[in-house]
Amino acid sequence: TSSLVHIFQNQIVTLNINGKEDLLGDHLEINRQAEIFMNILIICNKLRHFKFYTSVPIELHIVVYRFDECLFLLDGRFNQLRILFVKTFHILPLQRSIINKERLPNLKHVSLTCKSLICAYDEVIVPHLQRMINLEKLALYFVADYDDLFIDGNNLQKNIISHMPRLNQFIFNIRSMINYENLNYFPSNEDIHRTFINFKDNQVTSCVDYFPKSKYGQCHIYSYPFTLTYYENLTNNCPDGLFNTVQQIELFDERLFEHEFFIKISQSFPFLKELTIINSEQQKSNNENRKYSIINYYHLTKLHLVHVHDDYAEQFLLDTKTYLSNYIQLSIHYDQLQRVTEYFTRNTTRYNCSKVKQLYLYGLSQLPKQYNTYFPYLK
């Protein structure tokens, strides 16, 4: 076996594979072939010519750590590929020698998702998309650190859509971020929305926010309906609508979140399971004697309150503001938990604390045993 591997690694430079026609329509067979392709390309590092013959379109879904790891799919060796879904964790600038400019006329449907901030939108994403001249359906999901202009409708039209004359469905969820020092002007939400006037159906939502303390601005644009299961960096500038697919939210703003904002969150995101809040601004209307509408989070099971003002810990632990339907996992600083619960004696936080099943304390490894009665279901 080792000798065969040695031959594959060092001697094979040309490889042709003929697929069985009676198996090519089988989705399991197609996935198995995709795994074989990956292993061949990993093992045969001297391979220069690789052809696969098939009479039917091939669909491939692939997850890679870096985008350049899947570029072999776009170098002509898989010229029968029709549908390609790529999920990657990083899109980094490429060496000039890696960038291929040959057209990919057979691709019809492409989806690209990147989980981390990218700094190579113009250098990597745009050139590769412009090669897909016959694309009919495109889906893009990413966050980009951009230069001096937000990615808006004009940008998408110029760099992507105009290069795909057959494109009839464009799904996107793009958030671009710009450092204040690079901003030549500060477009409003209305300015960004106007750039989508000529888009098909014009069903595009845009949200523009500026953060003076952090010294950056962000522009979030997405096609309707919203399809992701998560929503990051959601601010007070929360769009209207119902987000039935979203289960995870990260709230961030340099402006305070009032109780009414959380009412909107609970109504707009009815299937919310995990919530992270990042906000150090004190609420203006935080008055324990005031009567609030109690907010019910029907599906919430994870709550992260690590980077918040005490008011937001109270927002979720006071039973006069929030009703926790489920047992939850809570992440919070120990000293903050002490303050909000008045050293575990406060009656109005007792019920919601009884719903805590897992407690991750920052500043303390384990809750002192004398306070276990305040968290009776804690594991």
Name 285's Cβ contacts closer than 8 Å, sequence gap at least 6: 258, 259
Instruction: Give Cα 286 distance to the centre of its chain.
Output: 32
Average pLDDT along the chain: 87
Closest CA to 316 of 345, 283, 289: 283
- Rounded Cα gap, residues 95 and 98, in angstroms: 5
Place of tokens 């005490």: 310
Model pLDDT for residues 5-41, shown as the tens digit of each residue: 555 566 666 666 665 544 444 445 555 555 666 666 6
- Rounded Cα gap, residues 120 and 266, in angstroms: 36
Q: Which pLDDT value is given to residue 76?
A: 72
Higher pLDDT, 49 or 310: 310
Closest CA to 100 of 76, 66, 65: 76
- Rounded Cα gap, residues 342 and 289, in angstroms: 17
The pLDDT confidence band at residue 251, using thresholds 50, 70 and 90, is very high
Give pTM, 2 decimals. Answer: 0.83
Place of tokens 């920052």: 362
Query: What are the Cα distances from residue 222, in Å, to 9, 111, 253, 376?
Result: 45, 15, 20, 43
Q: Which pLDDT value is given to residue 80?
A: 82
- Give the pairing type, strands 216-223 and 169-179: antiparallel
The pLDDT confidence band at residue 182, using thresholds 50, 70 and 90, is confident
pLDDT, mean of residues 350-372: 93
Place of tokens 């292993």: 39
Q: Which pLDDT value is given to residue 27?
A: 47
DSSP 317-365: H-TTTEEE-S-EEEEEEHHHHHHHTTTTT-GGGHHHHTTEEEEEEET-S
Q: Which pLDDT value is given to residue 100?
A: 75
Higher pLDDT, 171 or 291: 171
Are the C-beta atoms of residues 200 and 171 closer than 8 Å to each other? Answer: no
User: Is the confidence at residue 78, as pLDDT, over 90?
Assistant: no
**Residue 122 DSSP symbol:** I
